[in-house]
Structure 1
Amino acid sequence: MKQIALLAVRDLFHSRVFLFCNTAIMVGVLVPLLLLFGVKNGVYSALIGEMLANPANLQIDTSGNATFSPEDVAQLSTWPEIAFFTPKVRGQFDYMNVRTKGGRRLKSAVVIPSGAGDPTLPLGLDLPEGQVAVSAQLARQLQISAQAEIELISQAEGRSKQLRLPMKVVTVLPEGAMSGRAVMLAFPTLDVIEAFYESYTLPTYGIEGARKLEDRVPSYEGVRVFAHRLEDLAALQSRLETTLGVRTLARTQEVNALLGLGKKLNLALGLTAALAAMGLGAALVFGFWSDVARKRQTLAAIALLGVPGRTLALFPMVQAGLTATFGLSLSFVLFLGAGKIADRLFGRGLPDGAVLAQISQGQAVSICFVVYGLVLTAAGAAAWSALRLDPATVLRETS
């Protein structure tokens, strides 16, 4: 078996034209496919990355007037598709006036519940009570930065005293992370604001009210939810609406459009690859089979030396394996070169750091396995021909 393998290798390099032709066929088919596959990966990954860079694309907000108990909201913690969630207070109570400590300029801003794990916040940042994150627009208009001290101020009808909440800005959110003037803070602070508007007594802040705080029954208007993945968004939105019986708002249409584009690109590329594989397979079958037919006399002479047919069938299989190795190696080298050229010519519109044509290591290994399988299957016809070779008949015909 070892001698047949060595003989096949020597014969392959001796018949360089055969090796060159089959390698050229493989390269001519594989390089365009690799480039198409790489560009699809690069562009689609850039689009997905751009969408994931904005956490709002994973966000689901309940809308309308509804009332949820703590038990209704607590059940969401067991849903595996949820990355983060927090309850919300009623919409009429989620606006506050904001100013710098000791300043005079007031700006109204929406206050948004947040907490540890909120995708809108920088990774690892928590928002304990007394600390907030502000949107870029609010920070720009009030001329504040991280570590600044601000006040949240509200005046409710029938209240003789304002609610003043001193806060420390721990971070200014980047542009696009949160639109408009917004302040993100821990939900318990929002609960205090709602209690203030509902005329409850707030002894911590020295505010007297018509109702006792201990008599207050916690309830929520809705929830603010983030999905783990873009693929989970539509199903999670539907499940929330069914379970909680409320309308929701999310960017499901835009997300589904992008995910649908990826599926269509995969289908188109799969059909193209299937047709190319059929053509490549047919070319290689006739190539390997004709090569065995051309060397029938040589193989018959080897068989007369006592080499069994099964061992002789390895001759075209070894040559096919080497041909696939050369073809794949050259194809990937040319793909890398073509990818760099394409990136320079057409990659300017992609986000920073994005590559126009890319194939991951796992994908490359899978491609190699598929190509080796295709080539060795094509060589099977030649191996079957060698297996059925009758040395006496071949030598008698040639004589």
Structure 2
Amino acid sequence: MRKGLLATLAWHDYRNEARLSACAVLALVAVVAPLLVLFGLKHGLVSTLTERLERDPAVREVIPLGGARYNLDSIAALAVRPEVAFVVPRTRQIAATVDLHADGGSQPLTVEMVPTAEGDPLVPAEQLPRGSGEVVLSQRAAERLGVKVGDELTAAFGRSVSGTPEYQRTRVKVKAVLPLEVFQRQALFARLDLLEAVEDYRDGLAVERFGWPGREAAGTRARVYPGFRLYARDLDAVETLRLHFAEHDQEVATQAEAIAQVRSLSRNLTLVFWIIAGLALAGAFAAMAASTLAAVERKRRELSVLRLLGFSTAALVGFVVLQALYTGTFSLALAGVLYLAAETGLNHLFQSAAGESACRLLFSHYLLALLATLACSALAAATGGWRAARIEASEGLRDV
């Protein structure tokens, strides 16, 4: 009952001094609103850069360098690592090319052959080739050939046997075309068995499944792969995989440096934000403490009357703290409205892609701002309200 009465008295007194209360609110808004915008820019900028890296599979790609040798067992061991999202063996680069002929086209187009399989981050699951008779083209290759999804092409492979050139051809169907932003080179994505067949044929072996002749059957030799296509599960896994290959004396090319730059930017912006926030909050704390001291001096007679009516020292300090909490609540509400207006304007001004935000705060950030503002307000009021604890009840009997 006494607590409810104290809160009611504090509110009526706060409302009775509407002008002074409004000035206190605006003073705190001048601190909180810029901090919200600053933190929104920091969070929005770093989140946007991080999301761009995460959306770009090339950033998570780990490319082996040098003369490595892998078999299916070693590739399978990589596939089960928790850091790996996708891995598939690659055949020799010199053998992974093909001449494509469009029906009715005059000039063939030489493109690289890229192995693909389930889980490929570049090729959606519904666009994956279902067999060696289907392929996926990059947009550059499709444009040069003048073909679209559903068209058929002739793929030609050549080799030289005792100085005599030999060629084999097979028909393939275009299952899908990858957009330019996904893959920019002229390429053909196909199942690994097609690339292995082409490599065997160019090595002079017979590929019975396709009816391509050779000196011996391709299945009689142990296959060794010079590399692989590997994508890390997330950005943090890129550095983990780089260290793993370094321990095994395997040089790899990664985008670890670009990822580290974004991480460094996040840390630096966080440091700058907390320095500015610390200075601003210190100023706000001092201003609120001084405002509380002035309010206590201005209301000494009223507070002494409350002491005379039986309110304790803690209740008098609580009276002052409650009014500071009212100020903090109204200040954050107004600062939130101003932030939303600034956020809308900044995002409209700097928006470069759908779904990206230059300035953005989460609900948890608003909640944290509310708790921090109320805590700072209460602490400053309690610090400045120590004068209220020194007020004697006898002062209420005198008009001082």
> TM-score when scaled to structure 2?
0.90
Q: What is the one-letter code of the residue matched to 2:317?
A: A
Deviation track 1:229-251 (CA, whole Å, cap 9, x = no partner) reads: 233323322323324x3211223
Counterpart of 1:331 (choices 313, 329, 335) is 335
The CA deviation at 1:217 is: 1.1
Identify if the C-alpha distance between structure 1 residues 372 and 124 changes in structure 2 by more than 3 Å, giving closer, same or farther: farther
Residue in 2 aligned with 1:2?
Answer: 4
* SS of residue matched to 1:156: strand
Residue in 2 aligned with 1:254?
Answer: 258
Q: What is the one-letter code of the residue matched to 1:176?
A: E
The CA deviation at 1:143 is: 0.6
Q: C-alpha separation between the residues in 2 aligned to 1:260 and 1:127?
A: 40
The CA deviation at 1:283 is: 1.2
The CA deviation at 1:314 is: 2.1
Deviation track 1:66-93 (CA, whole Å, cap 9, x = no partner) reads: 1112222212223222222212112222
Q: C-alpha separation between the residues in 1 aligned to 2:96 and 2:201?
A: 12
- The reply on whether 1:156 has 2:150 as its aligned counterpart is no
* SS of residue matched to 1:110: strand
Ranges in structure 1 where 5+ consecutive residues have no aligned partner: none
- The reply on whether 1:60 has 2:65 as its aligned counterpart is no
* SS of residue matched to 2:369: helix
CA contact (8 A) 2:71 2:223 kept: yes
Residue in 2 aligned with 1:94?
Answer: 96
The CA deviation at 1:332 is: 1.1
Moved more, 222-231 or 265-274: 222-231
Identify if the C-alpha distance between structure 1 residues 234 and 160 changes in structure 2 by more than 3 Å, giving closer, same or farther: same
Residue in 1 aligned with 2:284?
Answer: 280
Q: What is the one-letter code of the residue matched to 1:177?
A: V
- Show the 5 A alignment for 1:198-213: 198-213=203-218
Residue in 2 aligned with 1:241?
Answer: 246
- The reply on whether 1:141 has 2:153 as its aligned counterpart is no
Q: C-alpha separation between the residues in 2 aligned to 1:149 and 1:379?
A: 78
The alignment's C-alpha RMSD in Å is: 2.4
Residue in 2 aligned with 1:167?
Answer: 172
Deviation track 1:300-337 (CA, whole Å, cap 9, x = no partner) reads: 21122222333333212221222111101101111122
Residue in 2 aligned with 1:302?
Answer: 306
CA contact (8 A) 1:133 1:172 kept: yes
CA contact (8 A) 1:31 1:334 kept: yes
Q: What is the one-letter code of the residue matched to 1:262?
A: S
Ranges in structure 2 where 5+ consecutive residues have no aligned partner: none
CA contact (8 A) 2:79 2:85 kept: no
CA contact (8 A) 1:116 1:127 kept: no
* SS of residue matched to 1:120: coil
* SS of residue matched to 2:114: strand
The CA deviation at 1:46 is: 3.5
Residue in 1 aligned with 2:393?
Answer: 392
Identify if the C-alpha distance between structure 1 residues 342 and 212 changes in structure 2 by more than 3 Å, giving closer, same or farther: closer
Residue in 2 aligned with 1:231?
Answer: 236
Q: C-alpha separation between the residues in 1 aligned to 2:233 and 2:126?
A: 16
Counterpart of 2:22 (choices 20, 23, 39) is 20
Q: C-alpha separation between the residues in 1 aligned to 2:221 and 2:385?
A: 84
Q: C-alpha separation between the residues in 1 aligned to 2:115 and 2:284?
A: 59
Q: C-alpha separation between the residues in 1 aligned to 2:63 and 2:279?
A: 46
Identify if the C-alpha distance between structure 1 residues 110 and 9 changes in structure 2 by more than 3 Å, giving closer, same or farther: same
Q: C-alpha separation between the residues in 2 aligned to 1:87 and 1:383?
A: 72
Identify if the C-alpha distance between structure 1 residues 149 and 143 changes in structure 2 by more than 3 Å, giving closer, same or farther: same
- The reply on whether 1:120 has 2:122 as its aligned counterpart is yes
Q: What is the one-letter code of the residue matched to 2:174?
A: V
Deviation track 1:25-54 (CA, whole Å, cap 9, x = no partner) reads: 211112222222222333333433444443
Deviation track 1:112-145 (CA, whole Å, cap 9, x = no partner) reads: 1122222212365433323222111101000111
Residue in 2 aligned with 1:380?
Answer: 382
* SS of residue matched to 1:109: strand
The CA deviation at 1:343 is: 4.2
Q: What is the one-letter code of the residue matched to 2:285?
A: G
Identify if the C-alpha distance between structure 1 residues 124 and 364 changes in structure 2 by more than 3 Å, giving closer, same or farther: farther
Residue in 1 aligned with 2:35?
Answer: 33
The CA deviation at 1:94 is: 1.3
* SS of residue matched to 2:176: strand
Q: C-alpha separation between the residues in 1 aligned to 2:365 and 2:127?
A: 35
Aligned residue pair count? 395
Q: C-alpha separation between the residues in 1 aligned to 2:70 and 2:268?
A: 40
Identify if the C-alpha distance between structure 1 residues 373 and 99 changes in structure 2 by more than 3 Å, giving closer, same or farther: farther
